[in-house]
Amino acid sequence: MKLVGIVGSNAEHSYNRLLLQYIASQYSHLFDLEILEIRDLPLFSQDEDQTNSVAIQNLTRKIMQAEGVIIATPEHNHTIPAGLKSAIEWLSFKVHPFENKPVLIVGASYYDQGTSRAQLHLRQILDSPGVNAVVMPGNEFLLGSVTEAFDELGNLKSAGTQQFLGSVLEKFSHFIQIISVLETPEYQMPPEDLHATGQIETTVANVEMAADDWLEQAAEQVGAVTANTYVQLDRGLLTVDQLNWFLNSMPLELTYADSNNQFLYYNHNAEAEDMLAKRQPGQVGNPLANCHPPKAYKNVEWVIQQLRSGNQDRIRVHVPNHGPNQFVVHNYQAIHDEAGNYAGINEYILDLQPWIDWYLQQTGYQLLTAEGTPISNEQPATPVDGVSGASKKAPTTSAVTTDAVSGASEKPAKVAVAAGATTTAAPPKIDGVSGASEKG
Rounded to the nearest integer, the mean pLDDT of the chain is: 83
Q: Beta 328-336 vs 314-319: how paired, if at all?
A: antiparallel
Q: Is the pLDDT of residue 114 over 60?
A: yes
Q: Which CATH architecture has domain 214-418?
A: 2-Layer Sandwich (3.30)
Q: Do the Cβ atoms of 71 and 106 come closer than 8 Å?
A: yes
Q: In the structure, what pLDDT confidence band is assigned to residue 416 with cuts at 50, 70 and 90?
A: very low
pLDDT of residue 73: 94
The reply to whether the predicted model has a pTM over 0.75 is no
pLDDT at 81 over 50: yes
Higher pLDDT, 394 or 264: 264
pLDDT of 108 strictly over 70? yes
pLDDT, position 379: 47
> Which ranges in 27-158 belong to alpha helices (H)?
54-65, 82-90, 116-126
Residue of 327, 319, 283 lying closest to 427 (CA atoms): 319
Give, to the nearest 10 degrees, the angle between helix 116-126 and helix 82-90: 10
Whether the per-residue pLDDT at 414 is higher than 50: the answer is no
Is there a contact between 112 and 80 (Cβ–Cβ < 8 Å)?
A: no
Query: What mean pLDDT is predicted for residues 202-210?
Result: 93
Q: What is the mean pLDDT of residues 115-135?
A: 92
Cross-strand partners of 105: 71
Q: Are 347 and 433 in contact (CB under 8 A)?
A: yes
Residue 137 DSSP label:
P
Four-point Cα dihedral 172, 178, 184, 186, nearest 10: 60
The predicted model gives 373-391 an average pLDDT of 48
- Between the alpha carbon of residue 265 and those of residues 26, 109, 222, 288, 312, the distances in Å are 46, 51, 16, 12, 23
Is there a common fold for 2-180 and 214-418? no
Predicted confidence band of residue 367 (pLDDT cuts 50, 70, 90)? confident
Q: pLDDT higher for 271 or 404? A: 271
Mean of pLDDT values over 345-360: 93
Q: What is the pLDDT of residue 438?
A: 42
pLDDT at 183: 52
State the pLDDT at residue 386. 34
- Domain range list for the chain: 2-180, 214-418
pLDDT digits (tens, 9 = 90+) for 245-288: 999 999 999 999 999 999 999 999 999 999 999 999 999 999 99
Phi, psi of 61 (to 5 degrees): -65, -40
Architecture in CATH for domain 2-180: 3-Layer(aba) Sandwich (3.40)
Ordered DSSP codes for 168-204? HHHHHHHHHHHHHTS--PPP-PPPP-TT--S--TT--
